[in-house]
A and B are shown apart, each in its own frame.
Chain A
Amino acid sequence: MLHLKTIASREIKLGFRNPWAYSFMALFALFSLALLLIQSQAGLTGYTSTTGTMINLILYLLPLMTLLLGSFSLTSEKEEGGWRLLSSFSLRTRAYIWGKYAGLAVVLTVIVAFGFGLSGIAGAAFGRGFSLQAFGLFLLFSVLIILQFLGLSALLGALCRNRWQALTYGVGIWFFLILGWPTILIAVLGFLPYLWIKPALVALIFMNPAELNRLFLIVKMGGGSILGPEYYQWVKWIQQPLGSLIFAGVLVLWIVIYVEAASGLWERGRRRGQEAA
């Protein structure tokens, strides 16, 4: 636990020395401010065009940011020899990976908190802010997106050899999960028998944290009925407090699976490295 904490605080320090962190922070703050100023409706609760646009902004920007910062942090340790040095200590791989995960989670949350803090103040100053409920839900939604994609980025970092590779794969994954997702699913699911489409679609949604979080947020904002009669039971189920609990469970499971897989891979690499040496 002490190791984990040490690695995490080292990660935070490294994270804030990384110029990428600041460029993403500026980007996120700038975009959320711009959106706030463009919209004419203030303080509306529920699922409206404004909240819909904000959801999209978060979905475009945060997963990419998280995937890149997360995987770069791991691959740079390989490239710059940080891990070689650390692995000569009696440091367990799991503590190392989870420590990095925790540290990065703090860095990214600070970036998002900075952006939201700024737009919260500016929104209030111009009288164009979100309602308190929407503001809180967006913050939660952003943090959940970060935590999940950070799990994915840990695995990506463990798999890639260097930052270039991580960048290529990261952008690829982002494109697949965010931009190409409906296209690919509609194309593939069209081949399935009609009755299989919905179960397959639901199963696949659980594979994509962006979609899972988006739908959860829409339902929590009261927009569940837009998903149509096919998802009636789902929506009812998510609306209950138990729904949130199960959703949280799925989230934790997702993160644990990805980070553990990353640490397993990393550990294998460590052993092989020792054998080679």
Chain B
Amino acid sequence: MQGLPPLRRALRLRELVNIKIRATPHRPFKRAIMAGTLALLCCAGMVAPGPHAARAAPDAIPLQPLIDAASPGQTLVLSGDRVYAGPAVVSEPITISSDGEAVVTNGSDRPALTLAADGIVIRGIAVQDGQKDPKKPAILVQSDGNRLERLRIKSQGGGIFLRQANDNLILDSRIEGAHPENPDEPYSRRGNGIDLLASARNVIEGNTIVHVHDGVYAESSNETRVRGNVATDSRYGYHFMFSAGSELTDNVGEGNVTGGMVMAVEGAVVKGNRFEKQTENVNSQGILLFDVHRSDISGNRVVGNRVGLYVERSTDNKLAGNEIVRNFIGMQMIQSDGNRLQGSLFAANVNQAQSTDSKDNVLEGNYWDDFEALDADGDGRSDLSYEIDPFFLRLTEDIEAFQVFFQSPGLPFLAQMFRADTANWLRDSSPLLEPPLESPETGDAASGRRTWLPGVLLLLAALTILYRWGYKKS
């Protein structure tokens, strides 16, 4: 198209961009080459049939020429019922959208889409990337101020990677790893859903990320805002490393190894998230804080995880109003000092909390459902403090095999004998008498009533046997 005179070029653009684009490659031989390449790719796909190989239909329209044809500020509308072939590099600030949901396929080892100019908008398209390298993304963003919206990405490799890309928005998209039907697929063979490196002030909101390595991974990316996303069936739902001032609010994580993992971060905000059912893995946690300082972790719900809230080597954090329910271990605190835990609810955890080597932590006004409180002055707070026994954690620190004694009936007996000096224990100085939060998950009352019939049957059977063979004279 570059060879055309300016007027015809403009006309042609109008035709391409504003009117529905139909496959109108202008040079027959080029088309033949393209078709041949695609055919070859398809053959390659058949030889090594990765279930997620790009389904590049032979009539897929090459995307790059269409993008090249659009000039800055214009909108390229892809046809919803057509398939387009990547890879493509966007190097002008254009908008790519679709009147339905156009599919972009990619069989190359480059990203299906690379964003190389600032201010690009991509909206409402599906990307099916056939790459198998987890380190390679379907969409690579290398520029600032872009907007990625309502995308549907399916990839064996990575989803959206941001590299030195600032102030971008990633909204309402769905990223799915290959083989979601196989939960045992090794994490090492999955890419990250959204992966940020050295990228600041990006907003990731309203996305759904399924069956990937890490749902959102932010490394050295300050002030990353992650809001209202859902990450399931992955290694870590949300993973922050060395990213100061990160924000993780109102997200959901289910069935991951760990829901939210924050490492080596200052001033993070982790608020209003819900992490559930992280129990399958021996390293599962709801929220993991490691080397986290001066951060605000409040209003989160961690339900039914192996460890609800895990805090290690973290100082001066505020943990308030969290709901920690039905985990195997509610909270573990290791080598963490000067943290403040208040107004939180601990209920139905097999073991409420464990802590070692942590000092100067202030726990007050939390609710512990296994605690027999005593309130003489009637201020709603117990005059007796709730003490957290470090015994089991110490026992298993050196010899991990002793973990098998978890909640063994003989263990409290042993712990009691070692209960000499409780001065250094983590303790809640004023536990609440009533739960501070509305509903401490009361469970399904209807399912609690289902033992009616089995109960009656058991009782009848027992009484019958007792009477027939025990009492009655034969």
- Residues of A bordering B, CB below 8 Å: 9, 12-13, 15-17, 40-52, 55-56, 59-60, 106-107, 110-111, 113-114, 116-125, 127-132, 135-136, 139, 178-183, 185-186, 189-190, 194, 197-198, 201, 205, 210-211, 214-215, 222-223, 225-232
Contacts and interface: CB of A to CB of B under 8 A. Distances in A.
Interface string B396-422: 100111111111111101100100000
Nearest to B327: A48
B458 A120 contact: yes
A122 B444 CA distance: 16
A114 B329 contact: no
B463 A114 contact: yes
Contact of B348 (A41, A197, A227): A41
Contacts of B411: 182
Contacts, number: 220
Contact of A121 (B350, B445, B455, B471): B455
Contact of B404 (A44, A59, A201): A201
B452 interface: yes
A223 B328 contact: yes
B26 interface: no
A121 B470 contact: no
Contact of A110 (B445, B466, B474): B466
Nearest to A187: B414
Contacts of A111: 462
B462 A117 contact: yes
A180 B413 contact: yes
Nearest to A215: B404
Contacts of A45: 447
Contacts of B465: 12, 106, 110
B442 A59 contact: no
A135 B454 contact: yes
A129 B450 contact: yes
Interface of B: 279-284, 304, 306, 326, 328-329, 347-350, 369-370, 395-396, 399-411, 413-414, 417, 440-452, 454-463, 465-466, 469-471, 474
A185 B403 CA distance: 13
Contacts of A16: 466, 469-471
B208 to A, nearest CB: 25
A55 B407 CA distance: 9
B408 A214 contact: yes
Nearest to B454: A120
Contacts of A178: 409-410
A46 B276 CA distance: 13
B446 A121 contact: no
Given A116-B458, A132-B454, A228-B396, A211 B443 contact: no
Given A49-B350, A117-B458, A181 B449 contact: no
9 contacts: A9-B474, A16-B466, A40-B440, A43-B449, A49-B349, A127-B445, A135-B451, A183-B414, A197-B399
A128 to B, nearest CB: 6
B466 to A, nearest CB: 6
B240 to A, nearest CB: 24
Q: Most chain-B CB neighbours within 10 Å: which of A55, A198, A225?
A: A225
Contacts of B326: 41, 44, 46, 48
Given A43-B443, A49-B349, A49-B370, A225 B284 contact: yes
A49 B325 CA distance: 10
A180 B410 contact: yes
A42 B454 contact: no
Contacts of A110: 461-462, 465-466
Contacts of B328: 47, 223, 225-226
B462 A124 contact: no
Contacts of B469: 9, 12-13, 16, 106
B198 to A, nearest CB: 33
Contact of A223 (B279, B281, B463, B466): B279
Contact of A130 (B401, B451, B458, B466): B451
A15 B402 CA distance: 40
A230 B403 contact: yes
Contacts of A40: 347, 369, 440, 442
Listed residue (B306, B410, B411, B449) with the most chain A CB atoms within 10 angstroms of its CB: B410
Given A132-B450, A186-B402, A227-B403, A114 B459 contact: yes
Contacts of B370: 49
Contact of B450 (A131, A182, A186, A229): A131
A129 B328 CA distance: 20
Contact of B279 (A60, A198, A225): A225
B447 A117 contact: no
A179 B349 contact: no
Nearest to B283: A229
Nearest to B370: A49
A107 B470 CA distance: 9
Given A201-B404, A227-B404, A228-B400, A60 B454 contact: no
Given A48-B326, A186-B395, A117 B456 contact: yes
A179 B348 contact: no
A50 B348 CA distance: 7
Contact of B282 (A9, A122, A130, A229): A229
A92 to B, nearest CB: 23
A232 B282 contact: yes
A50 B326 CA distance: 9
Given A43-B443, A183-B414, A205-B404, A124 B452 contact: yes
A1 B457 CA distance: 30
B462 A113 contact: yes
Contacts of A194: 399
Given A44-B443, A178-B410, A198-B401, A113 B348 contact: no
A103 B449 CA distance: 33
A190 B455 CA distance: 45
Contacts of A183: 410, 413-414, 417
A179 B454 contact: no
Given A42-B443, A117-B462, A132 B401 contact: no
B318 to A, nearest CB: 27
Given A120-B454, A124-B449, A182-B405, 13 more contacts: A41-B348, A44-B443, A44-B444, A48-B326, A106-B469, A117-B461, A119-B455, A136-B454, A181-B410, A201-B402, A214-B409, A215-B404, A229-B283
A47 to B, nearest CB: 6
B443 A41 contact: yes
Contacts of B444: 42-44, 131
